[in-house]
Structures are given as C-alpha cells and as structure tokens.
Structure 1
Amino acid sequence: MSQEQRLMLDGMLRNGPLDVGGDIAEQRKIFEAMLTAHPLPDDVTTAATELGGVPVITSRTPGTDPTLVILYLHGGAYVIGSAATAMGLSSDVARRAGARGVTVDYRLAPEHPFPAAVDDTVAVYRALLDEGVPSSKIAFVGESAGGGLTVAALIAIKEAGLPQPASAVVFSPWADLSLSGTSITGKADVDPALTPAALRTRAADYLAGADARSPLASPLFADLAGLAPLHIQVGSHEILLDDAIRLAARAAEYDVPVELQVWPQVPHIFQAFAALLDDAEAALQAASAFTTRHWADQSQSQAA
C-alpha cells in the first residue's frame, strides 16, 4: 500500500463528520448516512428476518454455499451502527468466504446496556444450531466493538455448553472496556478515528455501572480456554492496538490457536476501505483464507 493511500484515508477520517463520543442520536444518523451512501453490488441479495427473536440481515451472492454461515457482528462502540450499516463490509466478507452472511442487529446501549448484545448474539447462534446448521459450518467475524463482542460471545457459548464455531476473525477488537492498554494514549496522536475520551464515554453507556473487567464485557480478562481458533487484525495507527496484541497473548496463554496481524500505518477498521487501500484488500484475503481453511479442517476431521 502506498503512503499516498494511507495519507488520503487518514485525512478523510480526520475531516469526516463522525464523532464517536458525540450525541448518540446525531451520531447514529451520521454513521448510517456514511455507511449506506454507496449501494451494495448488484449481485448481493439481502433479506431482513429474525433468528432467536433477534433481528438479522442475511446476505447471499451467486456461487456461495448456503450451508456455510458467516455470523457477523458490526462495530459502533456498542451505541451506534446496525446490521444495515455493516452490510457493505459484512457481505464482502461473506462473499470472499463463499458463505451466506448473517449480520446480527443486536440491541444497542444505552437503551439496552451490557449484557444485551452478548445475549442477542448467543440467541442467534443457538437459533442457527436449532435450525440444523452444524457449528463446524459457522464462523464468526466481528469489527471493533463487534470484535470484542465476538470473543465475549464465544465465552458465553462455552459457558452455555454449546459447541464452538469453526473459527472467529476479529478486526480491531475492543476487548478491554477499562481502557488499560498503553496504546489508548500512546497512539492517540496518530489515530484519526477514535479518541480515549470517546471510548470512555461509550464504555460507560454500555456498562451502565457493570464492572469494566467483567469477562463478557472485556474478554481480555476472561478464561479463554477452549475457544475457537482466532484470527486478529489491527492497524498500528489506532488506540486499540494494545487490545489486539494483548488479546492474542491471552489466547495463546490459554492454548487457543491464534494468529495476529498488525498492519503498519493504517487506522481502525481499515478493512472497510478495500476499494482504496491495497493492504485492506490483502487483509480481507487473509481473513477469508483463515476462515475457509478452518472449515476445510473441520470437514476433514469429521470425515476421518
């Protein structure tokens, strides 16, 4: 990726209208307008439905295997965003994996604080299992808050006695709502999208008085033993860099198969800009390869 591409994206984000820590109603409108401004490709079909009583949007593209499912969790600091705003990236991820996409419209804070998002995600996963989709054919993908939520959901799935999915991919996961990582302040000057103050505000909205180090709120502090194989991507120009690095180390401590990729000089959720950034395209290819490899491994294990 060229330095010109990096600088263009940095400027675009710094000068954009989104303020993650700002008025929630206003920021929800801005976020929706930004992420739905460009139509989906013509060959993507979507349908709004429910699974386990939770709204979801499914996506399909020609040639994908409907028996394989990408269960996608959107970002937005737990207070903004929706399945609809995530469709550009989530449908792209599902297409690359050759799967049906199921993007969860989990409840948002502060109207529905922790653990509502975790409960909704587990309900959707349980519903897929109840419909006859094997856990070995489901892969989680989550971005930002949805990345932390992905790992929290895997922990809740384990605690519920349900089988783990085949794998999980997380982009720039927000895994520590106590904001104890050194990059929270150390990378603040180079992060064009997030600020420490904004994350403190949104963490308070989501937690509503709950312990910031609760394992299902901040999976960085959880027992991760037995979780699905994990692939973590993060940019070096973001304040959540330490969340990703420490999450990978924590997973390794508990013998979870884990891959960590740190992409230099790129911002939070750079994968959403694959049309502009060469590294974003490469990162999405790497994530897809991880997901499809673990589906293949599961199939070979079951056939043996």
Structure 2
Amino acid sequence: MSRQQREALDALLRSAPRPETPPTPEEQRTGFAAAVGRPAPEAVAVRRTVLGGRPALELEPADAADHGLLLYLHGGGYLVGSPDTHAGLVGELARRAGLRALSPDYRLAPEHPFPAAVDDGFAAYRELLESGTDPRSLVLAGDSAGGGLVLATLLAARGAGLPLPAAAVLFSPWVDLTLAGASYRSRKEADPLFTEADIRAYADHYLGTGDPTDPLASPLFADLTGLPPLLVQVGTNELLLDDAVRLAARAAEQDVAVTLEVESGLPHVFQQQFGRLDEADAALQRAARFLTAHLDAARLDALAPAR
C-alpha cells in the first residue's frame, strides 16, 4: 500500500500546473494556502494569541501534558505560509506528542527581508522564557525554511546567552541559501515540487542585499556547538536532500547529538501527508517520541539532586 501511496502522491504533485509568468508573492501565498492548508485535528483546540509581538496560533490537544511546550516555525521559503496553513501539521505533531503548541506568524519576504524572520523567531523564544517557561520543558520544530529558522533562532538565543530548549525537530530543513548542495543536480528529475530556479527565487526574495553565507540565513555555515539534540527528517525525492545530510554531518562533527532519517522516494515535507501516506504518520510518530523523550529526560535531570 505504501508504494501505491508514494506513486499516487508523486503523480498528484507533478500534475499541478506551473504558471506561464512568475506569480506575485500574494498570488503565491493564496496558491500555497489552497494547496497545503489543512485544519487542525478535531481533538486539538485552536486559539489566536500573540507571541513575540506577532500574531500566533495556540494549538492544544485535549490530553496535553502540563510539563511541555512546542514552539513551531512554519515553512514556505520565507515568502509564503502561515500558522493557518500549517495548523494541520502542527496540530497533528502536537496531538501525537501530547504537547501544547505555539506557532507565530513571523514576517515574510519580500516585504520583510532577512533578518526579519530571525528577529521574530528569537522574539517568540525570548518571550516564552521571560514569561516563565522553563527551557527544559520547551522543544522546537519547523519545516523547510521553518527548519532553517528554528536553527537560526537557536543560534540567536545562544548568542544572547539564553538557555536552550530540550530538543528540536527539523522536517526537510532549508539551511543553505547558497544552493550549493549536490542534490540540486542529482535529484533534479526526482523532485516533483521544485526546480532550482524556484528555490533561488525564494532565496533572492528573502535575502535582499544580505549575504547568503550569513550563519543566521544559512545555518549550515554556523558553529552549531552546544545546540540541543536534533532530529532531521528528509525525503530522497527533493532538491534539499543534501541540506539535511550536510547539516547532520556538520552537527555530528561539532558534538551535537543528531539523528538523521532519510525516507526513500518521498518529497519535500512529506509529513504534511499524514493520514494519506503511511510514512508520514510513522515519521510524525517518531518525531513526537523524540520530543517527549528529551522532555522527559530534561525533567528527570532537573529533579535529580545536585552532586
């Protein structure tokens, strides 16, 4: 069944028409919302709030634990996407992990180029700590550009001397805005969603006059020392495959505990296909277990007597 699901998904993604002329950012946002948006699961309550000075969604499963919180940063190439488009994915991860989640609506390019998104991600993280959230009870997650933004947020927090969370999960993270990964060539025919030109356009919109090698724009080039345990999930049928693989290698070289999961024959952020694709459900379940395991370990460590 899984092979049939993968083939059907690939055919569906390839059937999407490509516009003859480049759409405007607003047209891209509308199209992305229509193509990707899924509502939160029925067992997850959704409330609008404010975090770090930005609108945000709070998603709370009916059986959410009282000792953990998930901060989720959505993907969309820093150009499209919102907490609403990702309510389904965030809600499903939160439900499986039994965690309350917050998803801020960080500013998008080209109206707000780099480092606006990083500033907003950092502001959200800082407010959580300042409002009394124990970093040991906090985990982060993000997909695509949101995965890169999770790392940039952690780097900004480390740079500011703030304590870091218990763990982070990254779905198909975009971490190299120089587009230097070999998979831009080797997976050119396999990727049913993007061309290199598509991703370069996202990078140009986001960076403006910024440097693509800036570690806060491309965390692949950052010193990752001291970051919390990472889980990185990626599919083989995506141009960003090497972003994930190189990130995991760099993290390991710098003594960051990292787990890399590569799923054969799957596209970018395949986790969005939960309920339709067996591998998506399994991946989300593993991600949920990863987050809760590190939250439990951090809580036990906090309760242990000082030596």
The amino acid of 2:28's aligned partner reads Q
Partners of 1:154 and 1:164 within 8 A in 2 = yes
Q: 1:30 matched to which residue of 2?
A: 31
Question: How far off is 1:274 after superposition?
Answer: 1.6
Question: How far off is 1:95 after superposition?
Answer: 1.0
Q: 2:284 matched to which residue of 1?
A: 284
Query: CA 1:17–1:141 in 2, change beyond 3 Å: closer, same or farther?
Result: farther
1:56 and 2:48 are equivalent in the alignment: no
Secondary structure, aligned partner of 1:71: strand
1:5 and 2:20 are equivalent in the alignment: no
Measured in 1, the distance between the counterparts of 2:137 and 2:17 equals 39
The amino acid of 1:35's aligned partner reads V
- Residues 224-270 of structure 1: per-residue CA shift (max 9 Å, x gap): 00011100000011000000000000101110000000000000010
Q: 2:149 matched to which residue of 1?
A: 149
The amino acid of 1:83's aligned partner reads P
Structure 2 gap ranges (5+):
none
Equivalent residues in 2 for 1:1-304, closer than 5 Å: 2-17=2-17, 22-36=23-37, 38-304=38-304
Secondary structure, aligned partner of 1:4: helix
Structure 1 gap ranges (5+):
none
Measured in 2, the distance between the counterparts of 1:215 and 1:178 equals 11
The amino acid of 1:34's aligned partner reads A
What is the TM-score when the length of structure 1 is the normalising length? 0.96
Partners of 2:39 and 2:87 within 8 A in 1 = no
Measured in 1, the distance between the counterparts of 2:210 and 2:66 equals 39
Question: How far off is 1:45 after superposition?
Answer: 1.3
Measured in 1, the distance between the counterparts of 2:35 and 2:230 equals 30
The amino acid of 1:143's aligned partner reads D
Partners of 1:18 and 1:27 within 8 A in 2 = no
Mean alpha-carbon deviation: is it higher for 40-49 or for 294-303?
40-49
- Residues 110-157 of structure 1: per-residue CA shift (max 9 Å, x gap): 000001111101101111111111001111000000011111111111
- Residues 85-128 of structure 1: per-residue CA shift (max 9 Å, x gap): 11000011111111101011100000000011111011011111
Measured in 2, the distance between the counterparts of 1:253 and 1:197 equals 31
Partners of 1:167 and 1:228 within 8 A in 2 = yes
Identity %: 50
Partners of 2:141 and 2:168 within 8 A in 1 = yes
Secondary structure, aligned partner of 1:76: coil
Aligned length: 302
Measured in 1, the distance between the counterparts of 2:17 and 2:27 equals 10
Query: CA 1:190–1:22 in 2, change beyond 3 Å: closer, same or farther?
Result: farther
Question: How far off is 1:11 after superposition?
Answer: 1.1
Measured in 1, the distance between the counterparts of 2:51 and 2:26 equals 27
Partners of 1:137 and 1:295 within 8 A in 2 = yes
Measured in 2, the distance between the counterparts of 1:252 and 1:11 equals 36
Secondary structure, aligned partner of 1:181: coil
Question: How far off is 1:16 after superposition?
Answer: 2.3
Question: How far off is 1:39 after superposition?
Answer: 3.9
Question: How far off is 1:48 after superposition?
Answer: 1.2
Give me the CA root mean square deviation. Answer: 1.3
Question: How far off is 1:32 after superposition?
Answer: 1.4
